[in-house]
Amino acid sequence: NAGVTQTPKFQVLKTGQSMTLQCAQDMNHEYMSWYRQDPGMGLRLIHYSVGAGITDQGEVPNGYNVSRSTTEDFPLRLLSAAPSQTSVYFCASSPTLTGVNTFGSGTRLTVV
């Protein structure tokens, strides 16, 4: 089925470890974004991209890096994980000018 695929679904990291959360979409959407969801906080935008080679910061970018080398993929990197990054992470994509944001099913990350 077409959509947004996130991997892994669950991950436990130790403080200081690095990892990459993967996000891929097969809908040829130009716009992709990463959100984190914390209890009582709703979803907050981390980084977004309006097309291959273009990324920008959202509301809570510190501690995260992104790149967009292809239209399909938008990985989120944690260079040195901290307990404050324990959260559920959602990737989303949408067409540039119109349409609906399609969300992935999320990655639940725990940093101990």
Partner 1 sequence: GNSVTQMEGPVTLSEEAFLTINCTYTATGYPSLFWYVQYPGEGLQLLLKATKADDKGSNKGFEATYRKETTSFHLEKGSVQVSDSAVYFCALSFGYGGSQGNLIFGKGTKLSVKP
Judged by the rule CB under 8 A, the positions of this chain that interact with partner 1 are 4, 31, 33, 35, 40-45, 48, 58, 90, 92, 94-101, 103-106
CB of 3 to partner 1, least distance (A): 9
CB of 20 to partner 1, least distance (A): 19
Nearer to partner 1, 80 or 110 (CB): 110
Q: Which helix (H) or strand (E) holds 86?
A: none
44-79 burial: b if 16+ Cβ within 10 Å, else e? ebbbbbeebeebeebebbeebebebeebbebbbebe
Nearer to partner 1, 17 or 108 (CB): 108
Nearer to partner 1, 59 or 82 (CB): 59
CB of 59 to partner 1, least distance (A): 8
CA distances from 109 to 2, 37, 46, 60, 64 (A): 25, 11, 15, 16, 13
